[in-house]
Structure 1
């Protein structure tokens, strides 16, 4: 029943954001933007998405190297399938797919692999939140929606910064951190407190197996390259919507590299909002807010949203496509993996 309610709630969130995003859109004009787009730019953009996948996979391997050096083929299989499942499975079950898959392909314990995923999330969250705050200094203060973007970046920094601070405190004062969890969260949700205590234990154990300085340096360098490629790719794909050779009704748009990075960071903040699998709705809404910082509303609601839809579809197809290819190559069953993750999710659900 709880899962059904969560699914209904996530679908409602998706519908709400989809309605808000497209409520002022002339669908005929947006269709005209899609028809006039130069889809030649999809080829280099898909190439950039492939490089992004490789960077994500390699940097995960850097974090895991303190425990075991996993061969790229096994690492890539767990990474590609895991990111696909993160996109398509409800209730964030896909977060557990990579640790589950890498544990089957190495001697790495799932708890240690899960901690590597947590460290990835914290690193990305703090980097994006900090980058957004810095970039916003150069965005005109009268831009539409900038107040909400600043608030979102502050919330994001507080969440990930607070999470990192607590985990570092747990590394320093393990027993006190576990006791704090049980005293606070345990009063209202004993089951969740038990799981959080397990996370603290796992993190402390994983901290003792951190990679060496060289691998950590590669991890941070690959993180910078990963996010750099994302921004460059978004700027490149925006060129497809310049309305070159189209009729006068087409509203051309373009993004500078700076604007693309701002839109990218706003998008990441927006995707923190829980929604249905696939990020449909929240993705387009966040892009609308990000593009609205620079472009007139008429352009955003036509070419801007057409661009957002193509961007979303490209990323979705690439992620799912890689996952399906790797499933086929590895002779694995999506249903079997999803069923095991779902059963474990039920077993670990907080007790009332």
Structure 2
């Protein structure tokens, strides 16, 4: 509990500090006027891009579930994804990813298998993130505060990918290893450990199918493209003539910001990162803050509203979805 409160306090302090630097010296009337004058057509385009992004994430996750996910309707996968996103936005420590694991377990799929699909999803996004970094290196000179931490991420992603490929290529040996290790354990523990190992290895099966690999690549490209386009449409909505490169750079910085402790919803930190990122392209603080406020609302509010609505409808008899509670693996 002490560690949890420590993290909450540190996150709140970082958000408050970011809020101060984001708003200090700002002409609030100019920011408000910019937001009020935002082009509705481009705001709508950005909102549609956010909706398409979340739908694509749900489709990709269903693909990662492979044959076991065949019993899960896409609408249900989308509901679970939206609830997870809502909790990720409102709670610390990526609580939404944990909720997906438990709530998908309510559908009759082993939680350890779902854990494997969520882990693979994160590895795919890590690889995409590194590829975006490489693309940015070709398109623009990157400031040191961006490039230096990114090189460490490249190394971490490379090691993670090599381990994943190694496990994928030796799944048969890994299954036998799990069985041998389990033989030394008491019967009850052996069954749980064996089931856990088998389910985690089974989650890799989808990566062995070349057709599924191509589908995963395609949906991943759509996910990251729509994320960048959301930024781009927001620029245009506020009358900023910035290129798609600026939108990609902003996306790169904002995704990195997920790992920085902050208050729920990343209020303050999100806006300050927008100001830092767009300053690289010569955008004034007021204009960049307008982007941060509008983009924050576009990206965060739809999943939060949709997730809360999903939970409310489930409570009204629209489904069996529940928030996660501690349970043994199935």
Question: TM-score, normalization: structure 1?
Answer: 0.77
- Corresponding residue for 1:84? 86
How far did residue 319 of structure 1 move? 0.8
Distance 1:99 1:256, change over 3 A: same
Structure 1 stretches lacking a partner, 5+ long: 179-197, 243-252, 348-352
Q: SS state of the match for residue 123, structure 2?
A: helix
Task: Give deviations 1:161-220, integer Å, cap 9, x for gaps.
Answer: 333334445554859x99xxxxxxxxxxxxxxxxxxx99876434324657332232111
Distance 1:315 1:93, change over 3 A: same
1:288 aligns with 2:272: no
Distance 1:20 1:136, change over 3 A: farther
Q: SS state of the match for residue 331, structure 1?
A: helix
- Corresponding residue for 2:69? 68
1:135 aligns with 2:136: yes
- Corresponding residue for 1:161? 158
Distance 1:167 1:231, change over 3 A: same
How far did residue 317 of structure 1 move? 1.0
Matches within 5 A, 1:24-103: 24-69=25-70, 70-103=72-105
Question: TM-score, normalization: structure 2?
Answer: 0.81
Q: SS state of the match for residue 53, structure 1?
A: helix
Instruction: Give the Cα–Cα distance (whole angstroms) in 2 for the partners of residues 147 and 79 of structure 1.
Output: 35
2:216 aligned residue (215, 219, 223): 219
- Corresponding residue for 2:301? 317
Instruction: Give the Cα–Cα distance (whole angstroms) in 1 for the partners of residues 233 and 95 of structure 2.
Output: 32
Instruction: Give the Cα–Cα distance (whole angstroms) in 2 for the partners of residues 23 and 11 of structure 1.
Output: 18
RMSD (Å), alpha carbons: 3.1
CA contact (8 A) 2:110 2:199 kept: no
Instruction: Give the Cα–Cα distance (whole angstroms) in 1 for the partners of residues 209 and 67 of structure 2.
Output: 7
- Corresponding residue for 2:243? 256
1:231 aligned residue (224, 228, 233): 228
Task: Give deviations 1:94-139, integer Å, cap 9, x for gaps.
Answer: 221112111212x321111111111111111221222123223322
User: Of the two structures, which has the highest relative contact order with CA contacts closer than 8 Å and spacing of 6 or more?
Assistant: 2
CA contact (8 A) 1:10 1:275 kept: yes
Q: SS state of the match for residue 90, structure 1?
A: coil
How far did residue 74 of structure 1 move? 1.8
Task: Give deviations 1:306-337, integer Å, cap 9, x for gaps.
Answer: 1111100111111111112222332379xx94
2:313 aligned residue (308, 312, 329): 329
Q: SS state of the match for residue 60, structure 1?
A: helix
Distance 1:199 1:156, change over 3 A: farther
How far did residue 42 of structure 1 move? 1.9
Distance 1:155 1:275, change over 3 A: farther
How far did residue 302 of structure 1 move? 0.8
